[in-house]
Amino acid sequence: MPSVSFVGVIPIRMTEAWLMLDEQNLRVVAGNPNGRTDLGLPKPKAVESIPDPKAALAEKLALASGLSGRKLDKFKKRFPEHRRQLLDRINPLGPICEVSSWKDFNEDLLSGLRKVSS
């Protein structure tokens, strides 16, 4: 029976923390790519210390949308879809490279691939 290798992806504080690092992707997914509102995004090295990254991401997306009232309420209900779009758009060579769990993930992945290929 062939041996099977696994690589665990374990963000320190939820995957949503990783998704707050790319301002342009947040704005595109929020439907307001040319928005100018300051989103107050965290620095990559501090992103995993946010107590509730899911709530923070939802807040940043709402702010990036520039919407208000009923339109904002409808927008907020689509958070799972927005999160999925951000995951699809994540830049593996962007600011996420400064996050410790991302670095660890990449090292583990490369190590696992080396084992499989040898």
Average pLDDT of 95-102? 88
Q: Please give the residue range of the domain that contains residue 31.
A: 7-35+49-103
Number of domains in the chain: 1
pLDDT digit string, tens, across residues 78-87: 999 999 999 9
Domain presence at residue 115? no
The encoded tokens of residue 92 equal 């593996």
What pTM does this model have? 0.83
Residue 9 pLDDT: 62
Residue 92 lies inside a defined structural domain of this protein: yes
Spatial contact of 36 and 63, defined as CB atoms under 8 Å apart: no
Residue 117 lies in a domain: no
In a domain, 108, yes or no: no
pLDDT (mean) for 4-32:
83
Task: Answer yes or no: is 44 within a domain.
Answer: no
- The winner for highest mean pLDDT among 1-5, 70-74, 98-102 is 70-74
Sequence-separated (6 or more) residues with CB below 8 Å from residue 43: none
Is 68 exposed, middle or buried (CB count within 10 Å of its CB: 0-12, 13-18, 19+)? exposed
Look at residue 108 in the predicted model and tell me its pLDDT: 82
Residue 72 lies inside a defined structural domain of this protein: yes
Distances from the Cα of 89 to the Cα of 3, 15, 20, 39, 72, angstroms: 32, 13, 12, 18, 23
